[in-house]
Amino acid sequence: MRLSGQVLRSHGPAIGLLAALVLAWELVVRALEVPVYLVPAPTRIARAAYEVRAVLPAHVRTTLTEALAGLAVAAVSGVALAALMASVPFLRRGLYPLLVLSQNVPLVVIAPLIVIWFGFGILPKVLVVAVVGFFPIAVNTVEGLLAADGGMIDLVRSMGGGRWQVLRLVRLPAALPAFFSGLKISATYAVLGAVIGEWVGASSGLGLFITRAQASFRTDRVFVAVLIIAGISIALFALAELLARVVMPWRYTRASTE
């Protein structure tokens, strides 16, 4: 009861506002008699979801697999490069501007190239997700590593610790909050990256489902896919938050106490 009360207090206003918006959407669409192919009513979207209930699970499973695999690749590679950049100032000065510059290249340009290079299987979609999620994780982790307590670093070095000991005992623990902040950002974009990869070429996935629905002017089914994508993105964000609470329980205990 206590937990449900906390959830209601923290998320109740957002849920109430969302319900009001959905009700207003339904009433306006019906009152203005908006064509279904332009803006379907929420009830029509619900009916469309029921119609495609048999084919949706396979598409959702494909997209979710791509998103999780790509997010894992982004996390591992992002942390590895961040640790390297934080430990070697010369590499940091050389690579950091290139990381920032890479974000100026649109994903819709990169995705077709990745598909051309690696084919139409699951690998290019995983790589697209990894490209999307790599930057927030790498940049946040670098900042967290560099923000480690200087006194602790000097203490470890005075006791004979080398670069690896400083990284493992001081910098990495200090960078955990920053890493999870980047992971949460990447998690929200992971499904979007997978869908964009599927738009370029795929045999399954929500991106393919949206393409087919658009081609047949089934806007209601497009909305179904969009809602599922939003739901998965929220779930991945919540999963990253839960993982952060498991890895850093002291941080959340202190925050709740304050």
Residue 77 has pLDDT above 90, yes or no: yes
The total domain count for the chain is: 2
pLDDT tier at 3 (50, 70, 90 boundaries)? very low
Is the same domain home to 168 and 229?
Answer: yes
Which pLDDT score, from 0 to 100, does residue 183 have? 94
Helix %, strand %, coil % for the chain, to 5? Answer: 85, 0, 15
pLDDT tier at 6 (50, 70, 90 boundaries)? low
- Chain centre distance of CA 142: 19
Is the same domain home to 110 and 196?
Answer: yes
Read off the tokens for 248: 């850093």
Higher pLDDT, 3 or 219: 219
Q: Helices 56-87 and 219-247 meet at what angle, rounded to 10?
A: 40
Is the same domain home to 24 and 76?
Answer: no
Is the same domain home to 106 and 147?
Answer: yes
Is the same domain home to 61 and 136?
Answer: yes
Is the same domain home to 26 and 60?
Answer: no
Query: Which domain covers residue 10, as residue numbers?
Result: 1-33
Is the same domain home to 2 and 76?
Answer: no
Is the same domain home to 90 and 18?
Answer: no
Is the same domain home to 93 and 218?
Answer: yes
What values do phi and psi take at 34, rounded to 5? -70, 135
| Residues of the chain above pLDDT 70, percent | 93
Model confidence pLDDT, tens digit, residues 19-68: 888 889 889 888 888 888 888 888 999 999 999 989 999 999 999 999 99
Is the same domain home to 45 and 10?
Answer: no
Is the same domain home to 12 and 57?
Answer: no
Is the same domain home to 64 and 96?
Answer: yes
In CATH, what number is assigned to the domain containing residue 95? Answer: 1.10.3720.10
